[in-house]
Amino acid sequence: MSERALYLQAAESLRRNPGQWAAYDSHGHCVVLAGPGSGKTKTLTVKLARLLAEDVQEPRGVACITYNNECARELESRLAALGIEPGGRVFIGTVHSFSLTQIVLPYAKVAGLGLPDEFSVATQSERASALERAYRSVIDGPDNPQTWDFRMGNYRRAILNRNSPQWRERDPVLAALVEAFEDELRAMARIDFDDMPLLALRALRANEWLQRALLAKYPVLVVDEYQDLGRALHRMVLGFCFSAGMRLFAVGDPDQSIYGFNGARPDLLQQLSRRDDVETVHLRLNYRCGSRIVTGSRYALGKDRDYEAAEGANEGTIHFHPRTGNRDQQADDLFSSLLPDIRERLPDLRLADIAILYPSAPIGDAVASAAQNYGLPTIRTDKNSLYPRSSRLMRWLEQCAEWCCGGWRTGTPRFRTLMNDGQRIFSESLTAEGDVLLFQRRLLKTLWERRDSTVLLHWWLNEMRREAIAELIEGCRTLQDEGETLGAFIDRAAPDGDCAEMTLEQFAGRSEGKNCISLSTLHSAKGREFVVVIMFGMNDGTIPWHNQSNQRLVEWRRLFYVGFTRAKQELHMMYSANMPSPFVKEVEERLKADG
């Protein structure tokens, strides 16, 4: 079926919802403000497909920005179902990758950013040493310099204009530390993650033509998860869309803003929606959750919202499981009693339909090891996963492994997809047509000759690195950190490492879409949905964390709400009987009062 037919068919499901249809049919700036499961992302993807087919003439395209690489991947897979692949006319990525690949790398010199020639992105260890030196020169106190990193990041994100008096006045020590740190980085010809949007903004502010150049390339800007994107993106949006003339399509939910510690500002989306030149659409129906879960979610959030389950939704159930014993015993209990009960009740349930969500990665360790004891396959998406899930390089290698483990026969994934994704990842090294052809040939040869699911992962990764990608990584300024991640993982898979026994099949088996239970922090579960959700470790002092300010308490509550609203059919709360989270208690009491 043609791309056009695919999106038109998908649009039919929006037609019955007047809000979704209005957003799909919008002609100017449009903001969709709506709750969980209301189809924001669905509407956004179908709209994006329509924009490409009907409104934006080739070779111009659409830039689509979202919160993190996980969210970008989710968008990519939903767009793939509509026949749209990133690359070419479509940019899909984070604010950071947009800033880096669309503004800083191509225009640093002409925009007068004053960066050293051939700068690249610092690895974690390079950052740490730059901070160490900056701390010694500016503060030279007894602290571990790395403990200043968090505050320094907040300061850099909070005051975007370094020429404003605020920059030096609000915290002169932090301002001096940041400046010394950035000087240290530049002396090594490096920029870091926080630099990316800041440099992009600086370039845009100082060069009006740059906004026009980006407008020429991307006449439409699409933004998902706006509530978490922070001030730098908001500034860019104001410039691109309300000064240069790009058209905006943005979706988000201030109630799901959970990254305040990273600079998220839920009010920015509301500000946009109040503008006269923006059409704002509110959606009320929740297509994901059963009706009881929708009701419970109001109590979870602690605010009245007029959301309703969509017509024909199942009722949905919420279960409370107070437990005794320590964390490990409770995790054991989850797999020995709770999960078997659920699977008996829902015999058709696949493991991939189940998610276990917890407030922080260390709690996930207990769950992961209990799952292993019961021989249940899991896929983990928090920072204690086998390697950082945000690494595009590692995800691509996983896909290559899947191809070698039988995917070549079934076309899952297709070789063409591996090739296209690889070309995007290594794009900086593949500038000439000859380079691209060579990459394609090498990749095919390397993978074809290593189609054996039983080989040790260590051998396979080493071969892949040597034969197909080492030189490419070397040539990419954006990939140094990911190259280090790969190196560290290869060390773990070495004969003396903790993953020495791992086979290619096990590595490939960790790909998404496989029949594994999802283990995730509440944060990483954002944007996703599962038939059954088990919220584990819902204890007072953990969610919310001890002694939080009122402002932080609100955000903890929103985090609880995000987890709560991932469930379609069954939601389970596990907690210590003697210290349930106040959020759990409130939901339970209010549901009881409803009868």
Ligand X SMILES: Nc1ncnc2c1ncn2[C@@H]1O[C@H](COP(=O)(O)OP(=O)(O)OP(=O)(O)O)[C@@H](O)[C@H]1O
- The annotation places the binding site at 34-41
520 makes contact with ligand X (CB under 6 A): no
Considering the rule CB under 6 A, would residue 287 count as an interface residue with ligand X?
yes
Binding status of residue 40 toward ligand X by CB under 6 A: yes
Interactions with ligand X, residue window 255-274 (CB under 6 A): 256
Region binding ligand X by CB under 6 A among candidate stretches 9-17, 150-158, 179-187, 415-423 = 9-17
Question: Which one among 39, 197, 359, 580 touches ligand X, defined by CB under 6 A?
Answer: 39
Which residue's beta carbon is nearest to the bound ligand X? Answer: 39
Burial of 326 per CB tally in 10 Å (0-12, 13-18, 19+): exposed
Per-residue CA distances from 379 to 8, 313, 350, 366, 521 (Å) = 34, 28, 14, 14, 12
Q: How many residues bind ligand X (CB under 6 A)?
A: 19
Query: What is d(CA 439, CA 478) in angstroms, rounded to the nearest whole number?
Result: 18
477 to 516: interface string for ligand X, x by CB under 6 A: ----------------------------------------
Helix 457-464 vs helix 480-493: angle between axes, to the nearest 10 degrees? 150
**Which parts are annotated binding residues for ATP?**
34-41
Binding of residue 527 to ligand X (CB under 6 A): yes
Looking at 31-39, 415-423, 501-509, 550-558, which segment touches ligand X (CB under 6 A)?
31-39
Q: What's the closest the beta carbon of residue 577 comes to ligand X, in angstroms?
A: 30
Q: Which of 11, 38, 465, 554: binder of ligand X (CB under 6 A)?
A: 38
**Do strands 530-535 and 354-358 pair parallel, antiparallel, or not at all (unpaired)?**
parallel
Q: Which one of the spans 14-22, 240-248, 295-303, 425-433 is the region binding ligand X (CB under 6 A)?
A: 14-22
Which lies closer to ligand X via its Cβ, residue 17 or residue 520?
Answer: 17
Percent of the chain that is helix, strand, coil (3-state, to 5): 55, 15, 30
* Nearer to ligand X (CB atom), residue 446 or residue 565: 565
Choose between 37 and 197: whose C-beta lies nearer to ligand X. 37
Please give the residues from 550 up to 589 whose contact with ligand X meets the rule CB under 6 A.
Answer: 565
Which of 10, 20, 334, 542: binder of ligand X (CB under 6 A)? Answer: 20
Residues 6+ apart with CB under 8 A from 575: 321, 322, 323, 537, 538, 539, 581, 584
Alpha-carbon distance 40 to 35, whole Å? 8
The CA-atom distances, in angstroms, between 306 and each of 32, 34, 175, 303, 570 are: 16, 10, 45, 10, 22
Place of tokens 């490939």: 508
Region of 10-18, 177-185, 372-380, 511-519 interacting with ligand X (CB under 6 A): 10-18
Q: For 259-304, give the DSSP string.
A: -GGGT--THHHHHHHTSTTEEEEEE-EESSS-HHHHHHHHHHHTS-
Min separation Cβ 382 and ligand X, Å: 18
Distance CA 513, CA 510 (A): 9
Asked if residue 227 binds ligand X (CB under 6 A), the reply is no
Q: Return the number of the residue (43 or 576) whose C-beta is nearest ligand X.
A: 43
The amino acid at residue 232 is: A
The Cα 310–Cα 288 span in angstroms is 8
- 47 is a site residue for ligand X (CB under 6 A): no
Site for ligand X (CB under 6 A): which residue of 7, 10, 11, 17? 17
Q: Is 288 in the site for ligand X (CB under 6 A)?
A: yes
Give the residue carrying structure tokens 């955000």.
555
Q: Which residues bind ligand X (CB under 6 A)?
A: 13-14, 17, 20, 34, 36-42, 253, 256, 287-288, 527, 529, 565
